[in-house]
Amino acid sequence: MSENNKHHISYGTYILVWAALIAFTSITVTIAGVSLGRYTLFIALSIAAIKSALVINIFMHIKFDEPIFKVFLGISGATLFIIFLLTFFDYIYR
Amino acid sequence: MSNNTGTAAHHVHRDDVGAKMGMWLFLFTEVLLFGGMFLIYAVYRYQYPDQFHIAAMELNTTMGTLNTIILLTSSLTVALSIAALQKGNKFLSLCFLSITLLFALMFMVIKYFEWTTKISHGIYPGSPELLTKPNGQILFFGLYYIMTGLHGLHVLVGMVVISFMIVFIARDKVTSDNYVKLENSGLYWHLVDLIWIFLFPLFYLIQ
């Protein structure tokens, strides 16, 4: 609420997170070239999830913001997950 | 307005948390919009795994990787521009925003070359050449055009929003103690980046 208790992130932290994001990108590109069979998609999506966690927490400030935004994020994530789950239940057991 | 006392005039009627809450709610509608498309992608990839692999070979991984790096870096520069403004460094903030705009332009230029190459090879929705291919490949390219297209549209909108922020900061409408507009624009830009983080492995990295 008050302006004073806002958490300001330093340039260094942002640059560190960016470096991590670039590192994860090179890992995912390298791994895509290696044949890992059915794990390829799982690994690619896990790396994407780690990258989004970094962007959401640090770049989008969720980690330091009001708790209500975390609740919002949880609800929208859960909604998306349920939609995916129900669709695949319907599709696979059709 | 003019009958405000000195102290009352100092108190600006403004709700930064409310403004950000509105932005987050909007971002969730965006997540659901793209979520629906990712759902279609997931079901069809499950149905035609081999066709998706063959079709994805046509995409240029180098261009995709380059665009990923550009977009991630542009996310960094937006974050840095907010940090600079928080520290009261208006000039640095404007510099970082201009660099962001430049990266966004680079992204769109690469996207343009990527699409025109595909189109010149006769691969675009409804093209005679594409229609001779099996269903799974037609679906892959249909999804490729609609998802990267909608994402590209978001990049263009983001460029307009960032241009407005540059003007606002230059005219002191957005300042070091009133920067929620810039923060919200940043949130939008990071969302565009987030969507690309998932689009990239799903379209360019299927080997």
User: Nearest to residue B186, comparing CAs of A74, A79, A9, A46?
Assistant: A9
What is the sign of the dihedral through the CA atoms of A14, A20, A24 and A27? positive
Mean pLDDT of chain A: 88
Distance from CA of A55 to the nearest CA of B (A): 7
Does the distance separating the beta carbons of B186 and A14 come in below 8 Å? no
CATH superfamily entry for domain B19-204: Cytochrome c oxidase, subunit III, four-helix bundle (1.20.120.80)
Optimal mutation site among B16, B59, B72, B82, interface A, most CBs of chain A within 10 A: B72
Q: What is the pLDDT of residue B2?
A: 44
Q: pLDDT of B13-54, one tens digit each? A: 789 999 999 999 999 999 999 999 999 999 999 999 999 999
Would you state the structure tokens that stand for residue B103, as one six-digit string? Answer: 């990266």
Nearest to B207 by CA among A45, A29, A3, A20: A29
- Cβ(B149)–Cβ(B118) below 8 Å: no
B59 touches B202 (CB < 8 A)? no
Tell me which residue in A14, A40, A79 faces B76 most closely, judged by beta carbons.
Answer: A14
**Within an 8 Å CB–CB cutoff, is residue A27 touching chain B?**
no
Residue B191 has pLDDT above 90, yes or no: yes
| Predicted complex ipTM | 0.90
Q: pLDDT digit string (tens) for A9-28? A: 899 999 999 999 999 999 99
Task: Tell me what the pLDDT averaged over chain B comes to.
Answer: 93
Query: Which of A3, A44, A84 is opposite residue B177, by nearest beta carbon?
Result: A3
> Does the pLDDT at position B58 exceed 60?
yes
User: How confident is the model over B156-173, as a mean pLDDT?
Assistant: 97
pLDDT at A5 over 50: no
Q: B155 — phi, psi (to 5°)?
A: -65, -45
Return residues 50-89 of A near B (CB < 8 Å).
Answer: 51-52, 55-56, 58-61, 65-66, 68-69, 72-73, 75-76, 79-80, 83-84, 87-88
pLDDT at B159: 98
Domain range annotation of chain B: 19-204
User: CA B73 to CA B96: how far, in whole Å?
Assistant: 11
Look at residue A89 in the predicted model and tell me its pLDDT.
92
* Residue B178, phi then psi, degrees to nearest 5: -150, 80
